[in-house]
A = this chain, B = another copy of it.
Amino acid sequence: MNFKDLRYFQRLSEEKSFSETAKYFQVSQPTITYALKRLEAEYGVMLVERKSYANSLQLTPAGIQLQQHIQRILHEDQLISHDLRRIKSKQIKVGLPPIITNYLFPKVFTTLRRENLLSTIEPIVNGSHKLEQLLQNGQLDISLLGSTSLPRDPNLSYQIIRAHQFKLIASIDHHFKMPLNIADLAKEDFILLDEQSVHQQVFQYFTQKYQVVPNVIYQTSEYRLLLDLVKQNQGISFITETAILGEGGIQQLPIPNLQLPPFYLLLVYRNSSLPDPQLQKLINIFSTIPFL
């Protein structure tokens, strides 16, 4: 059997027109007819209902069934291309979410340099959510991710590098009367990370769980900007401790009995791309980051 036929069939089942499908692939119309015939002959089943005229083409149950499998096969075929391109070019596309990268990268920099891996890394900077998508469809080879839950995609493997916590933070110039409790936070102005980040969901969870109605004055995707604003005492914020470790001018607000999900720093990769030795090396280095 032929991958081409599968592609033709896939397109046909979306397009619902032989001639349109033919146009799409820049082949003549009978090509599509014959491709379908081949598939039907191979499996001995009708795959499409030949209705009269117009875009009334419909898949039979067998056709729908085949479609499902074709999806997977063609997806796997894409991954082949991505993976072999990586191995060929010796360039590894690494997903890097800013907060995590700034925290982790200094810890491995020397090792990466010594192992001559710095030049093989092609950094793709983006939010964790987007990066996970890119990973799944093969556009990324490996990624650091921040997440409150562990990936449940069976095609992805992962290592937990750290389990951090979310913190409420404020400028050191901002003085609170202790002990602080959650209700006090309603009086404060909040500066937050925007919807690209997991932080927003966790913050929402937090406000609902503890019945806080916060006054959010500004949202940004730039966590450095956020930290600077907090330092200037423009407002308080909610962020993973990852972002503030070793950061001056900021205090963590101790709230008794605050219960939030963990913030995992993960190294994630497709398990089918493990045969690449360069990638292996990279995984080893990141998954054995020394504390401090």
Which residues in A have some Cβ–Cβ distance to B below 8 Å? 1-3, 43-45, 61-62, 64-69, 72-73, 76-77, 79-81, 83-84, 87-88, 153-154, 272-277
Q: How far is the CA of A67 from the CA of B274 in the complex (A)?
A: 12
In the complex, the count of this chain's copies comes to 2
**Cβ contact of A84, chosen from B45, B80, B272, B273, cutoff 8 A:** B45
Q: Is A72 touching B83 in the complex (CB atoms < 8 A)?
A: no
**Cβ contact of A73, chosen from B68, B73, B153, cutoff 8 A:** B73
Q: Is B1 touching A61 in the complex (CB atoms < 8 A)?
A: no
Q: Which residues of B contact A274 (CB under 8 A)?
A: 68
Q: Which residues of B contact A88 (CB under 8 A)?
A: 43-45, 62
**Cβ contact of A3, chosen from B1, B69, B153, B273, cutoff 8 A:** B1
Q: How far is the CA of A80 from the CA of B74 in the complex (A)?
A: 14
Q: How far is the CA of A277 from the CA of B83 in the complex (A)?
A: 37
16 CB < 8 A contacts A-B? A1-B3, A1-B77, A2-B2, A3-B3, A45-B88, A61-B87, A62-B84, A65-B84, A65-B272, A65-B273, A66-B80, A69-B76, A69-B80, A72-B272, A73-B76, A73-B77
